[in-house]
Amino acid sequence: MNYTTHDYRQEYPLRTTIAEVDLAQLRANFRAIRTRGGNTEVMPVVKADAYGHGIVPCAKALIAEGATMLGVAFAAEAEPLRSDRRIPYEIPIAVVTPPFPHGAAEYCRLNLEFCAASLDTMRAFSAEAARTGRILNAHLTLDTGMHRDGIPPNEALEFMRSASYLPNITIHGICTHFATADEVDKRYFHLQVRRLNDTLQTLRDAGFLFRYVHAANSGAVADSSTEAAFTLLRPGIALYGYNPSPELASPLDVKPVMSLKTSIISLRRLAAGEPVSYGRRYTTPRETTIATIPIGYADGLRRSLTGKARVMIGGQYFPIVGTICMDQCMVDVGDAKFSVGESVYLLGSQTSEHGEIRIDADEWAQELGTISYEILTGITARVPRIYLNS
């Protein structure tokens, strides 16, 4: 989308750097994930402000598409969801990081589901739920090999027997987290699946049943199909258009939801041999035009992308040159004829004379030796989000 069809310069006169979030594409990604998982129920993970895309608009779109519940990392992330009247209060919100006992009052106030991984926490939550007349739902969280959160499988039966006496709490889910679901070598993944299944059978034999059994992150949904789907999928990064790893044998058919764009604010013609930006890291190799664009590392365009990143203008790629500044950076456009105000894409796609060209978060991640998750969540709050197809 360009300024001829939607004039963001008028809508956001104080900032022309914006992130477009296509909610129709988000919903399409949700459908692709659900289909791959055998039409199992889905708990979209909207933590970290929906991976930088905006938690409330994304949550609304995912609920409309049929999300069973929403997943967040911390109770504080549920606050804007519970405060927005357009999101049904009845929609379950599960906090996937185990809480402290002192968080009981807030979990009751916000009606949140929590990870059952500590009897001390269970007792505190039970007491507060009883005091306030709440019935809290919980998910037994197993450590099957990630060694981050949860209780060991061999302690699960004793835990459930102790927790079953606590009033006002229903443990209606059981879950774990896979460490290597997106890697070529699936042996450890299969071990974790087996540990979960064995524990589940032990608990069932003792009379403990669960409505929700969930472990499938994006990698597990992509490469294991229904093997690890259980009764609830728990995708994250794939919702936002990125497969979690290039090692996947069967990548999900998803497309990026966010585009990042700005505009040229100045143009200057420089002779050969002129330095550009801090530290004079770039010197013009020939007479050329340098375009300045108002985006920098305070917006999420990492300074470490200096000498590595490129942009798209008018259906062509051009390099960002010189040190990336906090608020601006420079682009060498050579002899191309552009004007101040011209649209510049940093993430997204454009149509060129040879077809579509694209820059995505995976490209930045590869240059930086990181992952798309970090790129997307690093687009800072001072970049306005524009929601398309809401």
Give me the active site residues, please. 47, 278
Report the distance separating Cα 181 and Cα 221, nearest Å. 9
Which residues are within 8 A (CB) of 42 and not within 5 positions of it... i.e. 6 or more apart? 30, 33, 34, 66, 67, 68, 232, 233, 234, 235
What per-residue string of b and e applies to 172-194 under the rule 16 or more CB within 10 Å gives b? ebbbbbbbbbbbeebebbeebbe
Quickly tell me which residue has 């764009």 as its tokens: 261
Residue listed under structure tokens 């949904």? 221
Give Cβ neighbours of residue 95 (< 8 Å, ≥ 6 apart). 71, 72, 73, 74, 75, 77, 78, 107, 112, 113, 114, 115
Tokens 């606050």 appear where? 79
Q: How far apart are CA 103 and CA 121, in angstroms?
A: 9
The CA angle 348-350-355, to the nearest 5 degrees, is 125
As a whole number of Å, the CA-based R_g of the chain is 24
